Structure 1
């Protein structure tokens, strides 16, 4: 097969880049209006529910957002210190653990899926182990990891990998196998090698599915970092340890501040990968509405 023929087949397999006009003010309202409206509704419901719980004497369940901010970061009692420093330190640790575990999951997941995509018998042999890994109750496995490997940061990273690996494997495999049959036959008629088919046809077409897997795994990696903290309480405290400490002391406002920070971390990582996806494939890929 000549190099020219390979390039021609690859060019025909690539999606066409549509022209995208600039976004107008009305488009921005359609994009950002509904999420902002939903956020406003959530705040109103939150304040109403907190006021009701306070009226019946259940103030330790759900403080309103204002109380969370004031009690956590601007305490009126001089004997209470703000949790800003502790929260930032824990956030930095959990972010590092989650991103490290996510990076390892991405590498392993893509490699695993690429191997399985090369032959059906390989997929039948290896994919069940990915399913088994997904079905293992991680809460039962975490203490075993701690007793076997210790309670260092590497154990927390391993928990993140175990939790976030499956979406990368399944999404990448789905994307690689979703290559158009006619385009695959065109490559085969031109005598393209497996490597050429993988790099010029399958992998480019699988990018949207791969990025979708990354976004799912990003949230799961944050969950893994928090779950690991709940069991690995030695060493520097992450968000999970902070949440557990505040819960045991009935510091409701500080507890909610830590929980919301952990949630915000997951959302930020999710949005970052969404931005990367848009930058990488947004010019030619647009999900159906």
Structure 2
């Protein structure tokens, strides 16, 4: 039986040469799904482990490093909790001070956001404006608060308004810097598309620059949120009139060794304030741009 004409010219798939030339298509594997409980564990367990290590070092230093005469400098953690948080008179005093500092920090941060975004937007519209304003902003950021306390006292007195101004000065610069970086980092192709459709300056800002700037803006907000808490506490040290803030309590407790437990409790509360506002703006960032930003950045680690 004869083969059909031309069949000897068609290579068989079983031929070794042909077999070696066949390349299998890459298998697309779905990314492994991580359960919600595992994600929570990954986020919570490392900080808790580090906190436990810090507390362990704290106990060790008090027990074995400090002499009996100096143990009051670093009291046991459980004594700090008992005196500072479980005795209602001390706790209520700290809570009132915390509320006062929180209010000052919130007002200062709100004003810093409004002013910072407005200044960054103005600087993004013209290079000459950016060149004119940026050195002044850097100079303002570099001035120590202590150096301008007399001026602030002369302008606003020593009450809550002076403390709010300190918060604005401290938390203003990161908002401007990050917002400006985000506005200027918008994709050039999107700018060309707006130009092609004869979009005006407002359309360019609303549809291209601000959406592109959101990740950088939230990074600046998270930094400034913590700095606003620092500003509220620092302002308490310099301006003592009006409602007593957590900074004034820290200053009061530091002057008397009998209040060491309350001093550590006040420092812990001040630290918790910074952590809470940082996490709050992180959650806000995830709610506003979380999924879009994760897809752009590759999903994170």
TM-score (structure 1 length as normaliser): 0.87
Alignment-derived partner of residue 120 in structure 1: 127
Q: More displaced, 61-70 or 210-219?
A: 61-70
Task: Please say which structure displays the higher CA radius of gyration.
Answer: 2
TM superposition shift of 1:54: 4.3
On the 8 A contact 1:142/1:228 being kept in 2, the answer is no
CA contact (8 A) 2:171 2:224 kept: yes
- Equivalent of 1:231, from 235, 238, 242? 238
1:267 to 255, 261, 275: 275
Does the alignment pair 1:63 with 2:75?
yes
User: Higher RCO, 1 or 2 (CA under 8 Å, sep at least 6)?
Assistant: 1
The alpha carbon displacement at 1:29 in A equals: 2.6
1:15-68 Cα distance to aligned partner (Å, 9 max, x none): xxxx99674433333232222222221221122122234444322322221011
Instruction: Quote the offset at 1:165 in angstroms.
Output: 0.2
Structure 2 CA distance for aligned equivalents of residues 201 and 108 of structure 1: 21
Shift of 1:190: 2.1
SS in 1 for 2:292: coil
CA offsets per residue over residues 109-148 of structure 1, 9 Å max, x none? 0000000001111110111111111101112212331233
Q: Quick one: which of 30, 35, 47 aligns to 2:42?
A: 30
How many Å apart are 1:260 and its aligned residue? Answer: 0.9
Could you state the TM-score of these two structures normalised by the residue count of structure 2? 0.83
Match of 2:51 in 1: 39
Q: State the partner residue of 1:258.
A: 266
How much does 1:72 deviate? 2.2
Q: Which residue of 2 aligns with 1:14?
A: none
* Cα distance, 1:231 vs structure 2: 1.1
Unaligned runs of 5+ residues in structure 2 are 1-30
Name the structure 2 match of 1:78.
none
CA distance in 2: counterparts of 1:211 and 1:238, whole angstroms: 27
Corresponding pairs, count: 266
Q: Is the 8 A contact 1:53 1:62 kept in 2?
A: no
Q: Tell whether the 8 Å contact from 2:109 to 2:167 is kept in structure 1 after alignment.
A: yes
* Counterpart contact for 2:97–2:244, Cα < 8 Å: yes
- Which of residues 183, 194, 204 in structure 2 aligns to 1:176? 183
**Mapping 1:133-172, distance limit 5 Å:** 133-172=140-179
How many angstroms apart in 2 are the aligned matches of 1:242 and 1:209? 35
Q: What is the Cα deviation at residue 73 of structure 1?
A: 3.8
For 1:148 and 1:112, locate their aligned partners in 2 and report how far apart those are by CA, in whole Å. Answer: 23
Q: Which deviates more from structure 2 when the two are superposed, residues 191-200 or residues 63-72?
A: 63-72
Query: How far apart, in 2, do the equivalents of 1:52 and 1:146 lie?
Result: 46
Contact 1:50 1:63 in 2 (8 A): yes
Q: CA deviation at 1:214?
A: 0.8
DSSP 3-state at the match of 1:33: helix
